[in-house]
Structure 1
Amino acid sequence: MVKRIFWFCAGLATGLVVASKASGYVRSHTPRMAREFVLGPDQDNVALRTLGSLVEDFKKNFADKEAEMNNSYAEKFGNR
């Protein structure tokens, strides 16, 4: 179990370093207009905006599924 945790942490750290270096390389070797088109004007918070969007999508889908299940339950057991 300790080996798995070690290798997971090592892989996570390696991934973070590679992603950071790749992001820096892209920022330094891409024209400003192209970066703004792809990443938006606020390029420093791309990861935070992406994570926020994922959380919003999850919450929306969770609420939709909950409403669907509640309606299904009401139709099945509500008319007794």
Structure 2
Amino acid sequence: MMFKRLFWIGVGVTVGALAVIKAQAYVKANTPDAARAFVFGPDQDHVGMRTLEGLVNEFNATRRAREAELNQHYIDRAAR
């Protein structure tokens, strides 16, 4: 049963990735340069990498903030 779920999750991820790749290729091929530069920014070849980098940076910032919050909580608790 678990193998079946993992298989279908893998199929869904693969189909989703292919759909995104095809959609990006379509947009690149059928939009004017000015519109693409406005939507994707000046570095149009690395949009995916910039998005992933932004997600990782946001995750790390949120993680650091939560760690600081927990550390302060336990420091306050130990000071009592």
Please give the range of the TM-score, normalised by the shorter of the 2 chains.
0.7 to 0.9
2:71 aligned with 1:76: no
| Aligned counterpart, 1:44 | 45
CA distance in 2, matches of 1:69, 1:6: 38
Alignment of 1:16-31 (within 5 A): 16-31=17-32
CA distance in 1, matches of 2:14, 2:52: 19
| Aligned counterpart, 1:62 | 63
| Aligned counterpart, 2:15 | 14
CA distance in 2, matches of 1:27, 1:10: 26
Q: Which runs of 5+ in 2 are unaligned?
A: none
**Per-residue deviation at 1:53?**
0.8
RMSD (Å) for aligned C-alpha atoms: 1.2
Figure out how many residues of one structure are paired with residues of the other and give that number: 79
After superposition, the Cα gap between the structure-2 partners of 1:5 and 1:78, relative to the gap in structure 1 and judged at 3 Å, is: same
**Per-residue deviation at 1:76?**
2.0
Q: Which runs of 5+ in 1 are unaligned?
A: none
CA distance in 2, matches of 1:70, 1:55: 22
Q: State the Cα deviation string for residues 2-44 of structure 1 (Å, max 9, x = none).
A: 2212211211121111111111111111111111111111111
